[in-house]
Amino acid sequence: MTTPQLELLWVYFLMLPEGARLQPSFSPSGTVPTSSVLGPVTEGGTPQPSWENATLGEEPGLLSTAGPSPATPSAPGSGPADLFPVLPICVCDLTPGACDLNCCCDRDCYLLHPRTVFSFCLPGSVRSSSWVCVDNSLIFKSNSPFPSRVFMNSNGIKQFCVHVNNSKLNYFQRLQKVNATNFQALAAEFGSKSFTSTSLPQPQLSFYKAGDPILTYFPQWSVVSLLRQPAGVGAGGLCVESNPASFLESKSTTCTRFFKDLASSCTSDPALDAASYYNFTVLKVPRDMTDPQNMKFQVPITLASHASSPLLTGNTCQNVVSQVIYEIETNGTFGIQKVSVSFGQTNLTVEPGVSLQQDFIIHFKAFQWSRAASPGPRSGNPGYIVGKPLLVLTGDTGHSMTLLQSQGDGICSVRRHEIQFGMNAISGCKFRLKEVDCTQLQEEICQTLHGRLRPEHVAIFGNADPAQKGGWTRILSKNCSVSATNCTSCCFIPISLEIQVLWAYIGLQSNPQAHVSGARFLYQYKSIQDSQKGTEVTLTTLVNFVDITQKPQAPRGQPQTDWKLPFDFFFPFKVAFSRGADIQKGSASPICILCLLLLRILNLET
């Protein structure tokens, strides 16, 4: 098409009615509308070029997601691999030094193709593509250099869409070079089907995928099995041994065991013996199953705490396992590197129908090549994520803020509820007043309300570093202990702690980030007499999150261009001929004048 033809096509497009012009639209889910099948689509969701439609100008349009460009990770020991150099920050990377599940932009995962390991990619961890659409009825032929396709929108109207290269939206996109080194890998990932028969067997995966069961090996019996994590089923929460542990999924389960004859089961039941939880090895990777005895692929389980064998002494069964905690260190596709286990043990009284509650915890973390300590898990990156722990600081120690938790009989427990950002909560328990002096009693109750570590600062963002004091703000608080006035036998004790947290969204409306503006402690006190010591009092803790976001004014629409049509030379003639009634009344002078002018021009030419 020549340049004048292009100009005419552009003028034609500008003269279209307003409803038929280019209409950009957005898809919040990150996928393109349902399309009519007019051409092949690549595996990542990017349509192939179609030469049946026309190209249009570049504007932000429909958003779709595709996997990040593959990169080659560095070998272990040579430093972290820069898999995503064009990505300034990975919003789902919440655990420093560890691979976050389904976070396809996490550099700690060391994955060449994240989609082969993860079942899906979290929003924000893959690149985005831009589509510009117009009504398909306006298109006759396409000479677009960009990929294009016809989609069906929600109203059932076909729209012609062009996949434009918008650098502001494609912030994850990297140009890919094809050479002899990566040709086979790209052909395997993006190649289409052919007529060549492939009768070769599929190779077994050489690494664990997220959610895969973890294989174990018992040397004394030469048996390959699975790492079990007993879980409770039914109304009574009875223990079921067949529940397998899943790779990269940190879980905690609780179940109950009932014993008819604990005297005989004390030393014979393997569920009560700590040795049955580490008398095997864990396979580093699921490959080479034909030779599981190869020590190269076996990881022994190390004891992190001392555990004794069960012992029946009189009417008591001692050293019974009540808690099992596995710590598993992984290194991406290199598999499991280290496994440790620690136990909690208790004593049971031999009586008919006695029961035991057991806790099983499996925690995954990244394998540490160096001894440098890494910061704790993040609650957002950078802004807080609703439901994540509220981070606080005591001295130089970072931890999460907690609330009271009660035991089964209502007495205050040493275990505490973790405060989740954005979620109001209240909890309480009973505290038995000890017969000690007032000052010591006040200190003990204050420690019970706050926890072992009293919070001093709260993190402004979810990725705050304890070493950077500027990322924390001081918690406003009065003295927890107050003195009684005009009463020598009275003691004012705090019975309630209210935690108020002010927070707001900041940043772009398309990607707002939650941050904490401030926090304070409010106490309620109660006066008791010395004679009331030894009784029980109810303690209460509650947290209240207050949203103080100031939303901006709604954006105004873009001004429409007022296109002026060219001046019509025949406008006087149209007006003159349209006034037929006036002509009949004798107003024919304009027509006569025009006729005389035309005759004058013809005479001059001749």
For residue 220, give the H/E element and its range: none
Name the token pair of 488: 């020598």
Q: Which residues, including other chains, have CB under 8 Å from residue 406's CB and lie 6 or more apart?
A: 412, 413, 427, 428, 429, 430
Whole-number pLDDT of residue 375 = 65
- Rounding to the nearest 10 degrees, give the CA dihedral for residues 368, 370, 373, 378: -40
Q: Which residue from 249, 332, 330 is spatially nearest to 81, judged by alpha carbons?
A: 332
Q: Which residue from 225, 353, 375 is spatially nearest to 286, judged by alpha carbons?
A: 225
Instruction: Return phi, psi of residue 205, to 5°.
Output: -60, 140
DSSP type of residue 46: P
Whole-number pLDDT of residue 180 = 81
Whole-number pLDDT of residue 562 = 66
Strands 298-303, 336-349: parallel, antiparallel or unpaired by DSSP?
parallel
Whole-number pLDDT of residue 115 = 79
Amino acid at 553: Q
Average pLDDT of each block of 10 consecutive residues along the chain (606 residues)? 40 39 40 38 37 35 36 35 52 86 86 83 75 83 81 84 64 62 80 52 69 89 88 88 91 91 89 92 77 76 88 90 93 88 90 89 80 69 94 92 90 92 95 86 92 93 90 92 77 93 91 94 89 85 95 72 61 62 54 77 72
Name the token pair of 251: 């879980």
Whole-number pLDDT of residue 82 = 42
pTM: 0.41
Whole-number pLDDT of residue 352 = 83
